[in-house]
Structure 1
Amino acid sequence: MRFHPAESAFFVFIIVILAAGVVTLHAYDYLQTIPAGAVDPIGGARVAYLNRLLSAIGVLVATALFFGVFFIYPLIRKQVREEKKLRAMTVSLSARSETLEHAALTDALTGMQNRRYFDDALREYIGEFKRIGRPVGLMILDLDHFKQVNDTHGHDVGDDVLKAVAKCLKGMTRYHDVVARLGGEEFAVVTPNMDAEPLARFAERIRNAVAGMAVMSGNVRLRITTSVGLAVWDGKEPAEDFYRRADRQLYEAKRMGRNRVCA
């Protein structure tokens, strides 16, 4: 059993009190061994005074011991229990806070990062890569004709499609890429240290992978395509302008017929 530091200090205090009591008792017993006629009247008076003094000290030591054991120690134990409860409550609240923070940054349907996380990560990557002078790529993806999937097959099937696309994106991206669902059928991938040419090849692989997926709805195999807009950070623009530039390329891909990458 491990004791709280306050309890350990109290035990040391009690041991000191007991030692003082033992010494006092020994001194009192020693004085009792002095014969009454062995000292002159003045010495006898002094011995009697020391006896009374040692008796008083013994009473004080016994009182301190009594109050320590029956009053002070219970207060220490109560304080220790309350401190343990507060510590447990703090741990619990901290865990809940982390869970809530995780929930606040995670898309509940797909389990990937959400728009809030994406916005923060994009700004952080831009700030860091500006410092080291390296490129940051961005792709915005939007599933083609997704509303028809929901209208024809129902929202449950639509959710299955979104989960399948999220799994595909997470499986194809690198560990340091940021993959997020921005909302609805729109996704985004931040690709640090990737400039225009490799970004375009990467986006084509993702587009082909999504187009090659098959999501089952009863006996029907659903084929999904996606349009992708790309941009590479120009080294000066803020995150909002960077995102809007990639978003404009996405709409250009939609305008040109969908199921394509536009940069």
Structure 2
Amino acid sequence: MTRDSAASIQTRDLNPGKSSTAPADVATAVLTEAEYELFAELGRPRRVEAGQLLFRRGELGTTMFVIARGVVDLDFGEDLVGKRLGPSEFFGELGLLIGDHVRSADAIAASDGLLIELRHEEFQRLVDRDPGLISYFLRRAILRVVLNEQSLIRRLRRRNEELQSALDSLYAATHQLNQTEELIRTDDLTDLYNRRGLTLHLQQYRTHATPPALGLLLVDCDRFKQVNDDHGHLVGDRVLQGVANILRSIAGPEDLACRLGGDEFCLLVVTDQQDEVMRFAEFIVATAQGLMQMSHGTPLMCPLSVGACLVDPAKDWTDWYARADAALYQAKRLGGNRVHWHDTELTSA
């Protein structure tokens, strides 16, 4: 650099109260006057225009810059706080000290200005010229890197805590949503699935490439109105809960017990065997009969009628229901307290 160029760079604005030794805050990367004068004398002047990109984050760098005039913005990305540097501040020092260092920020000139650029050969001349001054500068530069890393670690820790808090909130919201969804699909009185729960179950059933074979049992309480009329609705509710307990006791992990509404229930069982479906149905009727015999005064149960059929995967719920309902109607017509199997195809649903 020529003496005139150095003199031009040294005409920068100085803070009136700035010390000629170490700056008050090493994290600001402000050079002392002695450091600046030495860097200005041996560095290369570089004029920049507002908006000019000096380097990008992720690029390999080998140069350091000192600001003589103007302002430079450092953008670290990823929601990290950027920095705005002014006269006498330096940046990019790791590229100079380490060589081929990956830039950690975008450096953009925020105004027209003048920089001092230092490459390895200029820095070696600085060391030869005044090793004591450069040693002091290096200690401060290293301390600045450490402080920046500590600040980054604190920010990352804070972001991790915020992320963990957000995940905890998401988990709580998901848990509450699942509970709400479970309430929506569950019958309040019996805790069995309701019609909505049955509909969702059938939708999932349809998603299987090869749906499992099912048997359907429709269960209806015989003379349930008489129980309510003679003993009141609380007793009637306990009877309904008793029916739910019978269905729950025989339902396997893949079966589904449901209260369709009023005193009507259904049970979907995973099987393709008529004998097995009938075994379930006969157990339901027999268990209800046994509970009736145990009743003294206040009824624990009422007789049950069951209509049973195998499910045709090619048809939808209305067809299944119509078959089982036709069988249930026959059981009721024959006096109730029994099981009836639907054998023939319905001509219409």
TM-score (normalizing by structure 1)? 0.69
Aligned counterpart, 2:233: 155
The whole-number CA distance in structure 2 between the counterparts of 1:131 and 1:203 is 26
Deviations 1:128-162, CA, capped at 9 Å, x for gaps: 5x938x74211101111222222332222121111
Superposed, 1:70-85 pairs within 5 Å as 71-85=151-165
The whole-number CA distance in structure 2 between the counterparts of 1:46 and 1:73 is 32
1:209 to 284, 287, 292: 287
Distance 1:162 1:86, change over 3 A: same
In the alignment, residue 320 of structure 2 is paired with which amino acid? Answer: F
In the alignment, residue 82 of structure 1 is paired with which amino acid? Answer: E
The answer as to 2:339 corresponding to 1:258 is no
The answer as to 2:344 corresponding to 1:245 is no
8 A contact 2:231–2:298 mirrored in 1: no
The whole-number CA distance in structure 2 between the counterparts of 1:246 and 1:46 is 96
Aligned counterpart, 1:37: none
Aligned counterpart, 2:133: 52
> Per-residue deviation at 1:50?
3.0
Higher relative contact order (CA 8 A, sep 6+): 1
Segments of 4+ moved more than 4 angstroms: 122-128, 215-219
Distance 1:48 1:72, change over 3 A: same
In the alignment, residue 141 of structure 2 is paired with which amino acid? Answer: L
Structure in which a larger fraction of residues adopt helix: 1
Deviates more, 1:169-178 or 1:201-210: 169-178
8 A contact 1:126–1:136 mirrored in 2: no
> Per-residue deviation at 1:95?
2.0
Aligned counterpart, 1:30: none
The whole-number CA distance in structure 1 between the counterparts of 2:229 and 2:188 is 22
In the alignment, residue 211 of structure 1 is paired with which amino acid? Answer: Q
Distance 1:220 1:66, change over 3 A: closer
Aligned counterpart, 2:246: 168
Distance 1:80 1:248, change over 3 A: same
Aligned counterpart, 1:131: 210
DSSP 3-state at the match of 1:220: coil
The answer as to 2:225 corresponding to 1:144 is no
Distance 1:77 1:180, change over 3 A: same
Distance 1:219 1:144, change over 3 A: closer
Deviates more, 1:139-148 or 1:169-178: 169-178
In the alignment, residue 131 of structure 1 is paired with which amino acid? Answer: T
5+ unaligned residues in a row in structure 1: which ranges? 1-16, 21-43
Percent identity among equivalent residues?
A: 31
Structure in which a larger fraction of residues adopt strand: 2
1:109 to 186, 189, 199: 189
Deviates more, 1:91-100 or 1:159-168: 91-100
Deviations 1:163-211, CA, capped at 9 Å, x for gaps: 1111112223444322111122111111222433442343122112112
In the alignment, residue 133 of structure 2 is paired with which amino acid? Answer: R
The whole-number CA distance in structure 1 between the counterparts of 2:227 and 2:126 is 110
2:266 to 182, 185, 188: 188
In the alignment, residue 90 of structure 1 is paired with which amino acid? Answer: L
> Per-residue deviation at 1:123?
5.5
DSSP 3-state at the match of 1:213: helix
8 A contact 2:239–2:301 mirrored in 1: no
Distance 1:81 1:45, change over 3 A: closer
> Per-residue deviation at 1:112?
2.1
Aligned counterpart, 1:24: none
In the alignment, residue 116 of structure 1 is paired with which amino acid? Answer: R
DSSP 3-state at the match of 1:176: coil
DSSP 3-state at the match of 2:219: strand
The whole-number CA distance in structure 2 between the counterparts of 1:126 and 1:64 is 61
Distance 1:227 1:135, change over 3 A: same
1:93 to 141, 152, 173: 173
The whole-number CA distance in structure 1 between the counterparts of 2:331 and 2:143 is 91
Distance 1:58 1:165, change over 3 A: same
8 A contact 2:309–2:324 mirrored in 1: yes
Q: Count residues in correspondence.
A: 219
Report which of the two structures shows the higher radius of gyration computed on alpha carbons. 2
8 A contact 1:215–1:222 mirrored in 2: no
The answer as to 2:142 corresponding to 1:64 is no
8 A contact 2:239–2:299 mirrored in 1: no
> Per-residue deviation at 1:217?
8.8
DSSP 3-state at the match of 2:179: helix
